[in-house]
Amino acid sequence: MKKLLIILITIMLQTSVFAQKIENVKSTQKGQNIEITYNITGSISKQKFNVKVYCSTDGGKTYRSTLKSVTGDVGSNITGGYNKKIVWNVLKDTIILQSKNVVFSVKAFTNEPKSSFFAGYKGSSCCPIGLQIGTLGNVGGYIGFNTNKNNEFSISGGITARITKFSQDYNNLHLAAGFGYGYWSYDYNIGGYELPAFGSFIICEIGTILNLDNVNLNLGYLIGSNLFNSDDEILNNAFTFGLGFTL
C-alpha cells in the first residue's frame, strides 16, 4: 500500500468571491483523502453554482489546474448554503503532496443561464385575445397569434436574444423581434347600407421579455404595412403586452 506523505503544519485556505461569497473554509485529512468544507452565502432561492477547487503548494503564488479527483459539493448545479463538503482523493491526482504552504482556493461561478420554454397570454391594443409560445436563452424564438371579436387576426414569429446576464440564472431581460401577417375587417354605414371593408398587412414588431423566476412579462410595439386595402384604410400601430410562464 502506498504511503501518503502529507505535511500540513499550517493549511492556508483562501476564499474567493465570484458573484457570491465562500466563507468558513476548513480542511481535514481523512486517511488518504482531504476533506474541504465551506459555506456559500448571499445566494438566493434556486440559484445554482459551478464550484471548483484549486491547490497551491507555494502559499498561493501559483495554482495547479482544477482538481479532478474530487467528489461531493463540487461541479455544476451546486446550491447555496452551509456545511458544503468536497472530498479530494489526493493519490489520483498526485502521489506525494509535501509542503508547509499548501493553499486551497474554492471558487463558485454562477451557472450560465440555460434555454427554457415559455408560454402565455399575449394581446395588443387592437387584438386583445392571443397566445405566445417560444424559448428563452442566449438566443431563442417565438410564435404568436392574436385576434378579436371582429375576426381580425395577426400571426407573427421571430427571435429572442438575452441582453442581460443577472447573477440569477432565471432572471434576465430578453429582446424579441419578428415579422408576421395580419387581416383586418369591419362594416361601415353609407346611406343606410352596411358595406364591408377589409385588408391584409405585414407586421413588424419589437419588444422585450422580462423573465422573473417562473413568470415572464412582455411589452412591445407593432407596426403594420398594408398589402391589400379595400377602402384605403390607414392602419394604426399597436402596443403589445402579455404575461406567461417559464418552464
Between 221 and 55, name the one with better pLDDT.
221
Q: Whole-model pTM?
A: 0.55
pLDDT of residue 12: 40
**5, exposed or middle or buried, with CB in 10 Å at 0-12, 13-18, 19+?**
exposed
- Minimum mean pLDDT among 10-24, 91-105, 158-172: which range? 10-24
Cell of 52: 471548483
The answer to whether domain 116-246 has CATH 3.40.605.10 is no
Domain boundaries, the chain: 6-110, 116-246
- What's the whole-number mean pLDDT along residues 205-216? 87
Q: Look at 144 and 198; give whichever has higher pLDDT.
A: 144
Min mean pLDDT across 11-15, 68-72, 186-190 is at: 11-15
Side-chain half-sphere exposure of 221, counting CA atoms within 13 A: 2
Tell me what pLDDT residue 129 has. Answer: 93
Given the DSSP bridges, would you call strands 97-98 and 33-41 parallel, antiparallel or unpaired? unpaired
Instruction: Report the SS3 class of residue 100.
Output: coil
CATH number for the segment(s) 6-110? 2.60.40
What's the pLDDT score for residue 234? 59
Decide if 203 contacts 182 (C-beta within 8 A): yes
Which residue in this structure is represented by grid cell 387581416? 183
Q: According to the model, what pLDDT value does residue 70 have? A: 94
User: Model confidence at 215, in pLDDT bands (50, 70, 90)?
Assistant: confident
Answer yes or no: is pLDDT of 1 > 60.
Answer: no
For 78-113, what is each residue's pLDDT tens digit?
A: 988 999 999 999 888 865 666 677 878 888 887 655
pLDDT band at 11 (very low <50, low <70, confident <90, very high): very low
In angstroms, the CA 86 to CA 139 distance is: 35
